[in-house]
Structure formats: C-alpha cells, structure tokens
C-alpha cells in the first residue's frame, strides 16, 4: 500500500474531497472578510463602499460588545463547571450496580436528544414562567414569592438550560472512562488503606483527566456558539444581559440590517474562538498525550 505509485494515486483520489472542503470553508470566510470591510446596510442597497476597518472599530467600541464577551465567557465557564462536576457525580452514581441500570442510563442520556429550541421553550414556559411555571408553583406552595428567572437572572437561567442539555454528554463520556478503570487498581488502593475519598481523588479522578479534557474541549466548541436558547427565551435581554457574541452578530446583521458590522463581528468571534482554543490547548491539551 505504501509504494510511491499508490501514494500518488491516493492523493489524486482524495483531491476532489479536499478541494470541496477547502472551498466550503474558504469562500464563506473570504466573503465574510470582504463584507466586513464594506459599509453594507440592507436598508441602503447599492451604496456598498469600501471603508477599511471602520466596521471593526464600531463593533469593538460598541458597549454591547464587552457585555457580550463577558456573557459568552460566563456562559461557557458556567456550563463547563456544572457539566463537569455534575457529570462526574452522576457517572459515579450510574457506575454503581443497581436494578434497572440500562433503563436509567438511557433516561439520563435523553436530554441530549431534545433539540435546543424545544428544551429552552420547555424550561421557559413550564418551569421558569413566573405565573404558570413549576418553580413558581413550588415557591407559592411554600408561601414564597415566585421568582421571575428570565427577567431577573437571564444569564443564569440560560446557563441552567444549556447545562441541562450538556450534562448527559459529559456524564456519558465520564461514565465510559470510569468503567475503563482497572478494578484491580481500586482493589489495590483499598488494600493500601485508601478510603472512599482518597480512592476517588488519588485513583479515579486522575484516571478521568483525559476524559474531562475531551469533555471540556468539545463542549467549549459548541458552547461558544449557543444561540437558539437565547433567541427563544430572552432575545438577548433584558438590555444585553443575556447577549453573547453569537447573538450580537445576529442582532447586528439581521435586526439592525448592518451586514458589514455583523461580518466584522463574525470575524472577531472566529478570532476569539481561536484564542480560547489556544488557551485551552495550552492549559489542558497535554492531558491528551499518552
């Protein structure tokens, strides 16, 4: 298989696929870069002029940008914290031998199959609604004032919804990792006099580092672009309290019809995502080495 001839043939064979994928990425990216340098407003067609980096300076100096940036990081960080810690605890629980283990595991995975808009609407209308929601009902049952989650703690509410969606993913990955731990290691630790907590912190947790790294990296990619949950619940509000970068780009291009500024925001988002990626790989990427 590794003759010079077969290698040349292989290159020819994969060339179309590579070119297609390359075009798929390069064309939208270069168009976005091109649009980001135009004064391009949908309300003023035919007046697209080249204005250099003006769109970037507008976007970056917009007060909404910094709150969106903070919100994005809070959202990613908050969800990661909840899913990783909760995922480890759930995985520990599911790893115990119990009756109906298979069914329970499927139930735990279920939230992952619910599409984001649906789960956000369910949370918004059936749980967090201050009049009809379950939480309001529970608060009233014990004589408390119902709390209006989405207007008083919009970002936290969204973090809870997104964390609920991603918890199964983290649980699943961490559970499989936990099951791959050699039971003799646990027994050896037991013989060595390690209690349940020592065993967890000295044996189980180090064994999970790689799985935790995978969970963090994969989730970060998706959490940077959370959009549907915000659109159907808070619309980024009140004010910009629950606007993240993705939602800000949407607001710029399709609510204010400013495609130029929206494109500039898109490019900024790409750069930010890369900064986060580099940062993450520096921090935890070494866990992926064997």
Partner 1 sequence: MGQIKLEKVTKAFGNTQVIPPLDLEIEDGEFVVFVGPSGCGKSTLLRLIAGLEDVTSGDIVIDGTNATELPPARRGLAMVFQSYALYPHMSVKKNIAFPLKMAKMPEDKIEEKVKNAAHILNLTDYLDRRPGQLSGGQRQRVAIGRAIVREPAAFLFDEPLSNLDAALRVNMRLEISELHQSLKTTMIYVTHDQVEAMTMADKIVVLRAGNIEQVGSPLELYRSPNNLFVAGFIGSPKMNFLEGDDAAKYGAHTIGVRPEHLKVIPGATVGSGWTGTVGVIEHLGSDTFMHVHLDGNRGTITVRADGDNPAKVNDKITVEALSEDRIYRFDKDGMAIR
Binding residues (CB under 8 A) for partner 1: these are 182, 184-185, 187-195, 198, 202-203, 206-207, 209, 290
We find the least distance from the C-beta atom of residue 191 to partner 1, in angstroms, to be 5
Q: Which is nearer to partner 1, 106 or 290 (CB)?
A: 290
Exposed / middle / buried, residue 161 (Cβ in 10 Å: 0-12, 13-18, 19+) = buried
Q: Which is nearer to partner 1, 189 or 217 (CB)?
A: 189
Measured distance CA(175)–CA(89) in Å, rounded: 10
We find the least distance from the C-beta atom of residue 182 to partner 1, in angstroms, to be 6
We find the least distance from the C-beta atom of residue 80 to partner 1, in angstroms, to be 22
Q: Which is nearer to partner 1, 192 or 274 (CB)?
A: 192
We find the least distance from the C-beta atom of residue 198 to partner 1, in angstroms, to be 6
Closest CA to 109 of 94, 89, 127: 94
We find the least distance from the C-beta atom of residue 176 to partner 1, in angstroms, to be 17
Q: Which is nearer to partner 1, 7 or 286 (CB)?
A: 286
Write the CB contacts of 180 (distance below 8 Å, at least 6 apart in sequence): 207
Q: Which is nearer to partner 1, 211 or 230 (CB)?
A: 211
Q: Which residues of 116-141 are buried (b: 16+ CB within 10 A; e: fewer)?
A: beebbbebbeebbbbeebebbeeeee
We find the least distance from the C-beta atom of residue 208 to partner 1, in angstroms, to be 10
We find the least distance from the C-beta atom of residue 181 to partner 1, in angstroms, to be 10
Q: What are phi and psi of 238, to 5 degrees?
A: -65, 140
Q: Which is nearer to partner 1, 101 or 198 (CB)?
A: 198
Q: Which is nearer to partner 1, 13 or 191 (CB)?
A: 191
């Amino acid at each position: 298989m590794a003759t010079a001839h077969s290698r040349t043939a292989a290159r020819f064979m994969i060339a179309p696929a590579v070119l297609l994928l390359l075009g798929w990425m390069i064309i939208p990216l270069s168009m976005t870069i091109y649009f980001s340098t135009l004064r391009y407003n949908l309300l003023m067609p035919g007046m697209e002029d080249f204005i250099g980096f003006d769109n970037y300076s507008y976007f970056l100096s917009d007060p909404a940008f910094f709150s969106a940036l903070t919100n994005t990081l809070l959202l990613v960080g908050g969800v990661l914290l909840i899913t990783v810690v909760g995922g480890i605890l759930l995985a520990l629980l599911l790893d115990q031998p119990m009756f109906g283990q298979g069914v329970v595991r499927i139930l735990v995975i279920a939230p992952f199959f619910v599409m984001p808009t649906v789960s956000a609407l369910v949370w918004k209308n059936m749980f967090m609604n201050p009049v009809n929601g379950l939480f309001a009902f529970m608060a009233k049952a014990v004589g408390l004032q119902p709390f209006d989650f989405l207007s008083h703690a919009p970002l936290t509410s969204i973090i809870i919804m997104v964390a609920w969606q991603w918890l199964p993913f983290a649980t699943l990955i961490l559970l499989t990792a936990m099951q791959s731990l050699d039971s003799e290691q646990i027994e050896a630790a037991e013989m060595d006099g390690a209690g349940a907590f020592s065993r967890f912190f000295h044996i189980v947790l180090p064994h999970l580092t790689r799985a935790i790294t995978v969970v963090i990296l994969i989730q970060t990619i998706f959490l940077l672009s959370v959009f549907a949950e915000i659109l159907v619940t808070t619309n980024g509000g009140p004010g910009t309290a629950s606007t993240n970068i993705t939602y800000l780009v949407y607001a710029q291009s399709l609510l204010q019809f400013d495609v130029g500024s929206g494109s500039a925001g898109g490019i900024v988002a790409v750069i930010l995502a890369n900064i986060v990626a580099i940062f993450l790989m520096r921090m935890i990427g070494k866990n992926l080495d064997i």
